[in-house]
Structure 1
Amino acid sequence: MGSRGTDAGGGDGEQKTSWPEVVGWVTLNAAFKINDDRPDVSTAFYMIPTPLPTDYDAQRVIIVCDDREVVVRTPVIG
């Protein structure tokens, strides 16, 4: 019943919306993983303590990293 991009979840037709497995990864590697799972979204990088966007964007995954460019929070759609 899927149209495009429905293979990124666990096989139940739902698309992945968070990536807890990439916490601790270098941001670029995390972005590659996210793009592999969901090529239909873009990634946005924010270094702590930069404020995060307050608007919701279903086509954006927010990646929060520290000063070593390591992911410190679970990236999520938004």
Structure 2
Amino acid sequence: MAGVAAAVSAKNGDDDLRTSWPEVVGWVAVNAAFKISSDRPDLSIMFFMVDTPLPIDYEANRVIIIFDGGNVVVRTPVIG
């Protein structure tokens, strides 16, 4: 039973927080943002169109969504 308790304890820690959302590639950007916000309400979301210069600094509380002219996500959103 000790193994089960350790597994439950680890699952409740910060180690299982999502850091990327590959499933939203191909989604409309705003729908992707809703999904990310529902998974991680602690993060801020920024939107950038393809070929727009991205921030070069790393922010642990930011997710960047990159979309095309049709507002469709074209790259996996990740924290940074």
Q: Percent identity?
A: 66
- Structure 1 residue runs of 4+, over 6 Å off? none
Q: Which has the larger radius of gyration?
A: 2
Q: Alpha-carbon deviations, 1:17-59, whole Å to 9, x = none?
A: 0000000000000000000000000100000110111000011
Which of the residues 35, 38, 41 maps onto 1:39? 41
SS at match of 2:45: strand
TM-score in terms of structure 2 length: 0.81
* Counterpart position of 1:25: 27
User: What amino acid is aligned across from residue 36 of structure 1 in structure 2?
Assistant: S
For the pair 1:70 / 2:72, whether they are aligned, the reply is yes
The structure that is helix-richer by fraction is 2
Amino acid at match of 2:57: D
Whichever residue aligns with residue 17 of structure 1, its letter is T
Task: Tell me the number of residue pairs that the alignment of Structure 1 and Structure 2 aligns.
Answer: 68
1:16 is matched by which residue type in structure 2?
R
Determine the C-alpha separation between the residues in 1 that align with 2:74 and 2:24: 9
What secondary structure is seen at the aligned counterpart in 2 of 1:44?
strand
Q: Structure 1 stretch 31-40 or stretch 13-22: which is displaced more? A: 13-22
Of the three residues 35, 58, 62, the one matched with 2:60 is: 58
Distance (Å, rounded) in 1 between the aligned partners of 2:37 and 2:56: 23
